[in-house]
Structure 1
């Protein structure tokens, strides 16, 4: 039922608004007639806004939009949510949650309100979960209740909710099941994908050799190597590191991630329903995702023309065959929109997380030369200097495995995790979380939980080793999240991290130009992610 809202007098006496406001659905808009002085009424719906000529007009539209959405939210009753700072109409808790210091702001609120609290992103309430016990209770003990994906505005804006990451219900179940089976059949944990990673590791070693021991920024080379692994899986081919199409692909991925970790990205996250209708720099950033979508759509078109149903060679071809089998099912989730979106999801899941972890890991090993030396000693003992590392070697290299675990825990590259959403109203720790409420399991509070990891700010691989020197598992080790929405590429990522780390350390000593003890391991400032500070390394061949 549509409701009507009388505009306050303060709005009616603002300067004249020479702009057009309309609706994209059946709802109508009645504005004040300046001559007749008739009352203004606005029906609740979704606005299309033509940008006005002055800042005052923009403010007017923001106020109207905020009051409408605020009224809608308060009508639903949010009083039983966990505690949190009092929000303002439209702005929510922007005063308490500074986009420039987002994580620090959340940590401050945690100290004030406890491990479960609510903040408002604009007019939308979001429940924050902190610490291993709380996150485990939600994602593991109540996995069904928190198995829906929360809002990801950047993906929703371009991908329209399609794909593995943003999908919910049957869409999520079917696409995740298909993707896991496909990755497994193509060698996830078997030889075929392992050989592709080994091939790329050899290329990466060759590129490191070309630097001749001179300092260089490893970001580009690591991005090329990791991206080529996922390219071989989804497209069935790898690219030369100088291929223009490949470089464009990497640039788009990098730009999107920088935007998502920027202040502007967080502002867009909070106010996307309004900002997507207003011109600005955020649309330029959105174009990078549109370009990536175009790239994938072209690859899909080529695969449709060359498809051999009897011998699929990559993820896209497997998906196309599944589409053919289900073409008579009116409710199928196997269609082109989900294929394109799922392919893009795999790129993000399989590219930037591994790339960033490798970059952070190499910086850490340059800082702690003695740990680097102990890893190399184990490599020499188990693998030697000549043959390629294999996944089977990992079980015989507990110290190296522990170092990689600690790199993942310490670097903590996705501190907020991906948003979840309540599939039903649930009573959680004495509070009622309504159905559809977004929930953030703050993974950083798990990986840095002092109750689970003693002195969490210290880099200590020994925490993952028992008294016999064997690998020690920890339930609080959640770099891939937990529960039904945990990262489906965990196995692939772990394989890549082991082979890339050992392949480089097998051949090179990693150093820097200045004193290693002065290296700053704190992440560079960003709104939501943990990225290593820019650095250069020297790869000196081991003799």
Structure 2
């Protein structure tokens, strides 16, 4: 039992040292960090933040401490920003200072701080610039990618027609459509919807977002530094290994057939750059970054758009008058016989407003991805130290009552002026804002408009239950707001 006594003694010494350091740290920061609830040693604000409902807990604290507050995840202070003005001042007005990224513990197994979304410094800047260049070279924001989306929309239509008005769950129909667009850029091809490997990949992607949004993942993000000392605990966090194996397989295939004179996709472009920089020991064009970039782009390009449209269909069935107005505008501007194009958007203010309102109300990534302060900075009279984690709560911007007429209701008038013309709102930030804004924003906006109008041009969405009985509550609310699963029927128009 001698070892037990030694362990207890060491534990007492550790706790005593920690409390002393913690006390000194609090004295140092007192009056310099924004206000917030008093943290307890080791567990921080465990009593105020319910790990299974992180966002709700933070919103409750905002009511007491205001739009800029400090909370403690375990021993670590976290700057929480609420509302349009506070988030804008940080991510736009002080963009460089707030451009860092902290990889929360639940995401570490999957990304290990590699890839464009979870890296920092020179690595992040180089990966972001390279990825943007390649995405644009393969058509993002151009007519060529619009044609691919239109083509995919026709494949999606055919799948809907096959249901023959029978009820079905649209989840994987939409995931496969959105995924095929990013696949055409990353892997140089689209997949047949019946491809078993592709179907398995959709299940993996859906599982990843689900796992990252569970209560356990939220708890782990707050107390991971302690939990990792428990043997085997890290094995309970989803590491996306099945997705990584798929990506590694595709990379190997490209390596075996690589032709420097014929760049087929994102992987080819990265492999060529790897070869160019093979003698540079400090090069960021390494396999870990290639795999990380693909995982970032694939998940972002699949699940966020598909979830938004899935929730949008549910909203249109609940608010049938909105669906009827969209049908009327589509018939008037596009008609029933030609494929919608992005140029139609300018003549369709109501449909455009509905799509924006769906994005706002679906609030897909409510807490944003965690930012980090890159250097000591002054913010609203407070001193924010380098390396401090920042949570710019996008949900509080998208529901800001000072920016939206109907912040807590689904109402397209949030994006219409008094004349019925479309009106953009500065608080529309579903893609975040500042230097870490989503790489694929222009692609996602094009996909949502074309898929939305293509489906509504051809079908009426019919719920299996009366509109008043449709439940809009999210299944999970953590890393993502996950829409409820449901079934619908599509009736040819």
Higher relative contact order (CA 8 A, sep 6+): 2
TM-score by length of 1: 0.86
Say which of 151, 172, 175 aligns to 1:223: 175
Q: How far apart, in 2, do the equivalents of 1:67 and 1:157 lie?
A: 32
Structure 1 unaligned blocks of 5 or more: 1-14, 19-30, 34-38, 42-59
Q: Deviations over 1:418-458 (max 9, x none)?
A: 11111111111121111000001001111100000022112
Larger C-alpha radius of gyration, 1 or 2? 1
Say which of 200, 203, 221 aligns to 1:248: 200
Q: How far apart, in 2, do the equivalents of 1:207 and 1:413 lie?
A: 25
User: Is structure 2 residue 378 aligned with structure 1 residue 404?
Assistant: no
Question: Does the 8 Å contact 1:117/1:128 carry over to 2?
Answer: yes
Q: How far apart, in 1, do the equivalents of 2:156 and 2:363 lie?
A: 25
User: Is structure 2 residue 296 aligned with structure 1 residue 322?
Assistant: no
Aligned to 1:32: 6
Aligned to 1:45: none
Where do residues 485-504 of structure 1 align in structure 2 (5 Å cutoff)? 485-504=436-455
Return the offset for 1:101: 2.1
Say which of 127, 138, 158 aligns to 2:79: 127
Question: Does the 8 Å contact 1:103/1:528 carry over to 2?
Answer: no
TM-score by length of 2: 0.94
Counterpart secondary structure, 1:413: coil
Q: How far apart, in 1, do the equivalents of 2:339 and 2:21 lie?
A: 60
Aligned to 2:300: 349
- Number of aligned pairs? 490
1:468 and 1:159, CA in 2 relative to 1: closer, same or farther beyond 3 A? same
Q: Deviations over 1:107-142 (max 9, x none)?
A: 110001111111111221111000111110011111
Say which of 29, 32, 55 aligns to 1:103: 55
The Cα RMSD (Å) is 2.2
Q: Deviations over 1:218-240 (max 9, x none)?
A: 11211111112211110011222
Q: How far apart, in 2, do the equivalents of 1:64 and 1:159 lie?
A: 35
Q: How far apart, in 2, do the equivalents of 1:190 and 1:406 lie?
A: 25
Structure 2 unaligned blocks of 5 or more: none
Aligned to 2:400: 449
Aligned to 1:393: 344
Aligned to 2:106: 154
Question: Does the 8 Å contact 2:103/2:113 carry over to 1?
Answer: no
Aligned to 1:304: 255
Counterpart secondary structure, 2:417: coil
Where do residues 125-204 of structure 1 align in structure 2 (5 Å cutoff)? 125-204=77-156
Greater helix fraction, Structure 1 or Structure 2: 2
Question: Does the 8 Å contact 2:50/2:57 carry over to 1?
Answer: yes
Q: How far apart, in 1, do the equivalents of 2:116 and 2:21 lie?
A: 30
Deviates more, 1:214-223 or 1:242-251: 242-251
Q: Deviations over 1:486-524 (max 9, x none)?
A: 111100110110111011111110011221133222323
Question: Does the 8 Å contact 1:268/1:282 carry over to 2?
Answer: no
Q: How far apart, in 1, do the equivalents of 2:24 and 2:191 lie?
A: 54
Q: How far apart, in 2, do the equivalents of 1:17 and 1:535 lie?
A: 56
1:535 and 1:157, CA in 2 relative to 1: closer, same or farther beyond 3 A? same
Return the offset for 1:159: 2.4
Return the offset for 1:150: 2.0
Return the offset for 1:70: 6.2
1:498 and 1:66, CA in 2 relative to 1: closer, same or farther beyond 3 A? farther
